[in-house]
Chains A and B, each alone.
Chain A
């Protein structure tokens, strides 16, 4: 497709010592430029493995096959050094736990600087200016530049992570449950921030979540994953309002909606198995 920035073709992920056990089973997904694509699913459905495959950050215990085309270049064929140059500059990632992804003994200013230095050859003055600019964009007061991660709240730490991720203006931002560990009000702020950034910098986002409410807020396209497979994909309106696959329906039935009014129905896995044949 012409307007897609990332194309995942026949991706399989399996442990080194058991290649028959597929954790991600032959998925294909294309991500449109400038749009937010959400991958939704329960834990263990393979959402995070898919994201890590794109970043080429899979654990050494795991192996993958298939192709991942980023702007036409197959990331799988690149050498370690070539992928390192793209990581952070072309594709950046933010994680669920802002507490554990930041280094506790370095100031946040230093850590953001570090992220820029990997890719840019800035003078000290330019570097400082860029860090201040980034803090400004993500909404952290400049005087916190010398704070350590433990002096910040969970929401602020996630903002720091976002600042690091966007420091080199990546074309694609992968966000792996970035708001799951946060309070609802903070979650709403972070989602708004990500949405603004996407529009401002014409960024593409691959957003991983298990929360359909978040999907409704942020997604243009949705892919639903179940047991390592994409069972349904489409625009957010189609998938949420007119789900076709029995699993999507079951998953939508078991999560409370934004009004919290409808009855909750736990997933009946045996009925689901029958429906899926």
Chain B
């Protein structure tokens, strides 16, 4: 299968100064020489505990964070070398869905404005075609036309996440990075959003990089998994194989920690 994105030897170090007088600098390796390939049309899940570097990885792929080392090739373009217009069109192709649907929508903007903005930035269509595009997308994620003239606070958490998804998909990206898109949602809403993401993937042929700490969801949505710990890549492979025959000790521990597996832990 064709690789949509190839990342090689990604490294990122953060520095922290501790102590008032001593000024000792300690470094944290958020990404420690990580290489990942994302195949076209699949869902790749990234799992790990908080602080394992999952989100740093995601943000570095769209250059929201500048890396120290490594190369990212997306559709034959080196993401770390391109600038200006090239970067803009590439970013249009990689969109992101965020964890907190309460924090990721501007509270002062009506939904129509939130949806229009990406189209205007990238200069897609005139106001008439933009509106019809927005309308069909908002309906696709399960909202109605009247919702376009409302503000984010008038929606529930699940509905806001639907708006976040619609905003990401309006630019017709190929790769969508989902950073814990359901972990802030209620269980029953989680199932709705996961189903929506799955059906959208089928319809638009999307590729997902799905970041999560909930391994139970991984098995539902992902074809492949990478396990991260302390900025290092611990294990990677097909979801089914990782779940059935984990090789690494940490992966085994992680799997045994899934709630409902108490008997396996003791």
Contact = CB atoms under 8 A, between A and B. Distances in A.
Interface of A: 42-43, 154, 183-188, 191-192, 210-214, 216-218, 250-251, 254-261, 263-267
B49 interface: yes
A60 to B, nearest CB: 25
A257 B218 CA distance: 12
Contact of A264 (B194, B254, B260): B194
A247 to B, nearest CB: 10
B186 A43 contact: yes
A263 B191 CA distance: 9
Nearest to B216: A256
Chain B contact-residue range equals 20 to 34
A211 B188 contact: no
Contacts of A254: 187-188, 190-191
Contacts of A255: 187, 190-191, 216
B124 to A, nearest CB: 32
Contact of B49 (A185, A212, A256): A185
Interface string B243-266: 100000000011011111110010
Give the residue among B50, B213, B216 with the most A Cβ atoms within 10 A.
B216
B219 A191 contact: no
A184 B191 contact: no
19 contacts: A183-B213, A184-B254, A184-B259, A185-B253, A188-B256, A210-B186, A214-B260, A217-B259, A217-B261, A218-B262, A254-B187, A255-B191, A256-B216, A256-B219, A257-B216, A257-B260, A258-B259, A266-B189, A267-B191
Contacts of B191: 254-255, 264-267
Give the residue among A191, A257, A260 with the most B Cβ atoms within 10 A.
A260
B187 A184 contact: no
Given A192-B265, A264-B191, A256 B217 contact: yes
Interface in B183-226: 186-192, 194-195, 213-220
Contacts of A187: 257, 259
Contacts of A213: 216, 258-261
Given A213-B258, A259-B219, 19 more contacts: A183-B213, A184-B215, A184-B258, A184-B259, A186-B49, A192-B262, A211-B259, A212-B260, A213-B216, A213-B259, A217-B261, A251-B188, A254-B191, A255-B187, A256-B216, A258-B216, A260-B258, A266-B188, A266-B191
Given A43-B186, A210-B187, A264 B262 contact: no
Contacts of A259: 219, 243
B262 A216 contact: yes
A218 B266 CA distance: 13
